[in-house]
Amino acid sequence: MALPQLKNDRLIRALLRQPTDTTPVWIMRQAGRYLPEYRATRKQAGSFLDLCKNTELACEVTLQPLRRFALDAAILFSDILTIPDAMGLGLYFAEGEGPKFERPLRSAADISRLGAPDPAENLRYVTDAVSLVRRELDGKVPLIGFSGSPWTLSTYMVEGGSSKEYRYIKGMMYENPTALHQLLSTLAQAVTVYLNAQIEAGAQAVMIFDTWGGVLTPQTYRDFSLNYMQQIVAGLHRQHEGRKIPVTLFTKGGAQWLEDMADTGCDALGLDWTIDIDEARTRVGNRVALQGNLDPCVLYADPDSIREKAREIISRFGNHPGHVFNLGHGIHPAINPDHLGALIDAVHEFGFDIRK
Amino acid sequence: MALPQLKNDRLIRALLRQPTDTTPVWIMRQAGRYLPEYRATRKQAGSFLDLCKNTELACEVTLQPLRRFALDAAILFSDILTIPDAMGLGLYFAEGEGPKFERPLRSAADISRLGAPDPAENLRYVTDAVSLVRRELDGKVPLIGFSGSPWTLSTYMVEGGSSKEYRYIKGMMYENPTALHQLLSTLAQAVTVYLNAQIEAGAQAVMIFDTWGGVLTPQTYRDFSLNYMQQIVAGLHRQHEGRKIPVTLFTKGGAQWLEDMADTGCDALGLDWTIDIDEARTRVGNRVALQGNLDPCVLYADPDSIREKAREIISRFGNHPGHVFNLGHGIHPAINPDHLGALIDAVHEFGFDIRK
């Protein structure tokens, strides 16, 4: 069955640094807890993981923010930890505690026993959701697929959950780097296969979230995080349905390493809010598009202040192709959805203005 | 009573970019939970706050790491939240949950009711501890006094404790910056008086910890954090007992803003591990000394790996005056004290070598 043509292609064009009529915008975690309709569907599904694995309901929550806001993209509702879960580590979410693994990897022996997951087998629920969302979107806006970076996935797999100190994984990194490289290499292969399966199923852009790359030193960032993201970028099917599939890399806290990130061959970089977007643009030049970079906390302020901060970022980027507006990290659960509406309208308005 | 002369002045000399025989080293949180003798004294004192407020026991834990290791400085055992506590916010430590305030500041009215604490009155336990430690040290090594930065203190005061999202303080910053500036201004005055009282009581160097400056944007960092640290630097008594009192600023996650920090008139900058120290040195030139910057997680590895990483930092800094070795953040509670011993010996050994 042929997939419908794309009506709003601002996101894809901006990621490929082609001109657009205004600045496209989407929001990390736009399908999420700040929306009452999300909370209702989540309740219906059961646990967070039940919701991720339920094709119909995952599709439903993916589409919910598009019914409220003039967003320029959908992003698949899923979790970065689907891959380690499919590798048999036993993912679960303890209420109010974040993700946990029943069987964390603490030794070289644990790592050597690990196999790559087969997306056609135990990640089928993800590709099924991609296909269903594409059909339901009916070409309205593009669908973004995503994965966690090998480094970020490995932090959860070795620590057994979220971490503040990175005790076990960094202990391994500094004392037994070979074991960690083996894990990261397995993960790089798994992420490549996983993202290619999402592209095959209909994802029109992909993004790699390196949420914890910023806790590394410059050298260990290059060796243990960026190196494996580069391997993934090199292995992706960058053409599908007659279009280029743009790839975005996002390292939270990675503003110091933008030049190295731009050298991986990706199309775009996600920015958190700790760097001015005009400075980032000066540093990476025309090699990549930039996505970002409003502090998510601006959305706690009143709509007038929100508009002012949106205007500032658009004006800093200036009248060039290659800007996708976003927050510098996911939207917080306590945000008033009307505040997000004000932001999205402001981005489109100022995005038109700056192109005049 | 005249205070004893300083026998080991490596730290002071390095902070003032004067030549030393080897690289001086001290460790953030060197008096802390990784030491069994600290845990014993803490038990004897009662709560963490009881220990901070007990002059004799605070002195005892300050001196404990110096009995084990050839450290080049002592740092007063205390907490950055003594100032908000003295302002009447009701500091307490819930076991395993970090610091909390009974009466957080959530409005402009809360802030306008706030007065500056009088160090001679309700922070007397801190200056008493400084004087006692100085006497007990008997000139062996210098004593460092410290404070939290106004921005960092205000995050706890407004959020009511530690935060991941900075919802209330950033909401205030973006919607009602005037109220927040009033709070920061009060805190800048309080910190200045507090650090001057520590200097008067015998602190031979002072450090301002801006633990949460790195969660800001470049503009809000300058306006809401750096600006107030600069006011403090300008108001400190920089000469005491016939010596210059060096001032160190440390913003965790602030590697992007080192040039701005160096322009405040401080003597040294603390670095976390997300920047190479040679790059930092190139960027700030000879304006300031640098303190850092080993990833605290290196101490989880074996002593050979620890030595290798220490050597790398010393060799990156090179044979120049102005390096104080430290971790990029506080030592973790689970570290084996023998590993810290290996690090300190390695720093002195390689520090001698590089000066040959």
Residue B146 bridge partners (DSSP): B207
| Contact criterion met (CB below 8 Å) for B148 and B209 | yes
Catalytic residue, chosen from A17, A42, A134, A281, is A42
| Contact criterion met (CB below 8 Å) for A255 and A329 | no
Distance CA B258, CA B291 (A): 12
Q: Tokens for B238? A: 């920089």
For the segment A241-251, what is each residue's pLDDT rounded down to a tens digit? 899 999 999 99
Higher pLDDT pick, A115 / B114: B114
Question: Which whole number is the average pLDDT over B143-150?
Answer: 98
Question: Which whole number is the average pLDDT over B259-274?
Answer: 98
| Contact criterion met (CB below 8 Å) for B134 and B141 | no
Residues of B in contact with A273 (CB under 8 A): 217
> In this model, does residue A118 exceed pLDDT 90?
no
For chain A, give the percent of residues with pLDDT over 70.
99
Question: Which whole number is the average pLDDT over B15-39?
Answer: 98
Residue B327 bridge partners (DSSP): B294
Tell me which residues of chain B have a C-beta less than 8 Å from any C-beta of chain A.
Answer: 165-167, 170-171, 173-175, 214-220, 253, 255-256, 273-276, 279, 295-298, 300-302, 305, 309, 332, 334
The beta-carbon neighbor of B274 closest among A165, A217, A279 is A217
In this predicted structure, what is the pLDDT of residue B5? 78
Q: Tokens for B120? A: 């001679």
Confidence of residue B2 (pLDDT cuts 50, 70, 90): low
The beta-carbon neighbor of A301 closest among B171, B297, B334 is B171
> In this model, does residue B191 exceed pLDDT 70?
yes
Residues of B in contact with A295 (CB under 8 A): 170, 174, 217, 220
Paired sense of beta strands A247-251 and A243-244, if any: unpaired
For the segment B209-218, what is each residue's pLDDT rounded down to a tens digit? 999 999 999 9
- Based on the residue annotation, tell me whether A67 is a catalytic residue of this protein: no
SS3 B175: helix
Distance CA A182, CA A114 (A): 10
| CB-based contact B174 A217, cutoff 8 Å | no
> In this model, does residue A116 exceed pLDDT 80?
no
For the segment B77-101, what is each residue's pLDDT rounded down to a tens digit? 999 999 999 999 999 988 778 899 9
Helices (H), B236-323: 258-262, 277-284, 303-317
Distance CA A257, CA B214 (A): 16
For the segment A141-157, what is each residue's pLDDT rounded down to a tens digit? 999 999 999 999 999 99
> In this model, does residue A95 exceed pLDDT 80?
no
Residue B239 bridge partners (DSSP): B244
> In this model, does residue B1 exceed pLDDT 60?
no
Is the predicted ipTM greater than 0.90, yes or no?
yes
> In this model, does residue B147 exceed pLDDT 90?
yes
- Based on the residue annotation, tell me whether A33 is a catalytic residue of this protein: yes
In this predicted structure, what is the pLDDT of residue B27? 98
Q: In chain B, which residue's Cα lies nearest the Cα of A332? A: B165
Q: Tokens for A38? A: 């999300």
In this predicted structure, what is the pLDDT of residue B79? 94
Residues of B in contact with A309 (CB under 8 A): 174
Paired sense of beta strands B323-327 and A143-148, if any: unpaired
Q: Which residues contact A10 (CB under 8 A, 6 or more apart)?
A: A20, A21, A22, A24, A72
Place of tokens 């101490």: B299
For chain B, the average pLDDT equals 96
Paired sense of beta strands A243-244 and A239-240, if any: antiparallel
Q: In chain A, which residue's Cα lies nearest the Cα of B271? A: A217
The beta-carbon neighbor of A175 closest among B166, B256, B301 is B301
> In this model, does residue B116 exceed pLDDT 80?
no
- Based on the residue annotation, tell me whether A29 is a catalytic residue of this protein: yes
The beta-carbon neighbor of A301 closest among B175, B216, B298 is B175
For chain B, give the percent of residues with pLDDT over 90.
94
Question: Which whole number is the average pLDDT over A181-191?
Answer: 97
DSSP summary character for residue A163 = -
- Based on the residue annotation, tell me whether A135 is a catalytic residue of this protein: no
DSSP summary character for residue B32 = S
SS3 A334: coil
Q: Tokens for B186? A: 């009060």
> In this model, does residue A96 exceed pLDDT 70?
yes
Phi, psi of B42 (to 5 degrees): -60, -40
The separation between the first and the last C-alpha atoms of chain B, rounded to the nearest angstrom, is 41
Q: In chain B, which residue's Cα lies nearest the Cα of A167? A: B297
Distance CA B295, CA B298 (A): 6
Q: Following DSSP, what letter does each residue of B39-53 receive, concatenated?
A: HHHHHHH-SHHHHHH
For the segment A259-290, what is each residue's pLDDT rounded down to a tens digit? 999 999 999 999 999 999 999 999 999 999 99
Confidence of residue B229 (pLDDT cuts 50, 70, 90): very high
Nearest to A325 by CA among A14, A34, A65, A67: A14
Confidence of residue A115 (pLDDT cuts 50, 70, 90): confident
Distance CA B99, CA B52 (A): 13
* Alpha-carbon distances of A117 from A86, A123, A189, B260, rounded to whole Å: 6, 8, 10, 48
In this predicted structure, what is the pLDDT of residue A121? 82
Q: Which amino acid is at A260?
A: D
Phi, psi of A99 (to 5 degrees): -70, 145
Residue of B224, B225, B274 best to disrupt the A interface, most CBs of A under 10 A: B274
In this predicted structure, what is the pLDDT of residue B3? 64
Distance CA A127, CA B277 (A): 45
